[in-house]
């Protein structure tokens, strides 16, 4: 069976890819990078480069990269989002992932976003399930969080770039404004 795995970044892919290889070897996994929310563009490029290096190092030969940087679309959607910017972001990325999976004959899709204890796990699940229903392709829910610490450890051993915030301009502001305020 073929699974399209939405990948937000290299470090967050470590544990899910290990778990899929060990516990779900029936899946042929293809990584899918689609993250127009990441700001600034240098951060987007750095995360993408880190993912490419990691994929090459572990032999993940199936990696699809959507390099479109539609920041304006993301910002319009996030600013107008009735259910909040994170839900809008998850909806956008899961819908695109499900659409790509359906269009290219995958059997299901999932996401590495489900590994981070800092992400809104239930919102991700809801967004993916809604995208699956809309596109007519199964969403494979796997709670990757138990492997989070091991993934962090491995990514540090590999000296991977580890980003200090979720990716969007809003999370960047939250991260650094809070840090400055705590310094005072």
What's the half-sphere exposure (Cβ side, CA atoms, 13 Å) at 123?
16
Structure tokens of 129? 């399930």
Tokens 């990078």: give the residue.
33
Residue-level pLDDT at 85: 86
Residue-level pLDDT at 176: 84
Which pLDDT band, with edges at 50, 70 and 90, does 156 fall under?
very high
Range name among 61-75, 97-111, 127-141, 164-178 with the lowest pLDDT average: 164-178
Tokens 């042929």: give the residue.
28
Span 68-99, pLDDT tens digits:
999 899 889 888 877 788 899 999 999 999 99
- Distance CA(159)–CA(98), nearest Å, equals 31
- Domain map (residue ranges) of the chain: 2-183
Neighbours of 80 (CB within 10 A): 9
Look at residue 30 and give its three-state secondary structure.
strand
Q: What is the mean pLDDT of residues 139-153?
A: 96
- CA distances to 54, 80, 82, 114 from 37, rounded to whole Å, are 21, 15, 17, 17
CATH (residue range 2-183): 3.40.50.620
Structure tokens of 19? 């778990």
Span 13-39, pLDDT tens digits:
999 999 999 999 999 999 999 999 999
Q: What's this model's pTM, rounded to 2 decimal places?
A: 0.92
- CA distances to 32, 60, 123 from 133, rounded to whole Å, are 19, 28, 15
């Amino acid at each position: 069976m073929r699974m399209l795995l939405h990948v937000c970044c290299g470090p967050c892919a470590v544990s899910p890819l290990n778990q899929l290889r060990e516990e779900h070897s029936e899946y042929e996994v293809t990584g899918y990078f689609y993250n127009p929310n990441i700001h600034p563009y240098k951060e987007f490029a750095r995360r993408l480069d880190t993912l490419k290096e990691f994929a090459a190092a572990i032999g993940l030969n199936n990696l699809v990269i959507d390099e479109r940087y539609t920041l304006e679309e993301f910002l319009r959607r996030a600013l107008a989002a009735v259910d909040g910017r994170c839900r809008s972001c998850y909806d956008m990325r899961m819908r695109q992932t499900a659409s790509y999976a359906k269009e290219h004959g995958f059997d299901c899709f999932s996401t590495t976003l489900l590994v981070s204890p800092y992400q809104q796990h239930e919102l991700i699940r809801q967004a993916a399930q809604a995208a699956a229903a809309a596109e007519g392709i199964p969403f494979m829910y796997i709670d990757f969080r138990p492997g989070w610490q091991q993934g962090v450890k491995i990514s540090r051993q590999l000296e991977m770039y580890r980003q200090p915030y979720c990716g969007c301009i809003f999370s960047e502001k939250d991260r650094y404004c809070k840090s400055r305020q705590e310094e005072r």
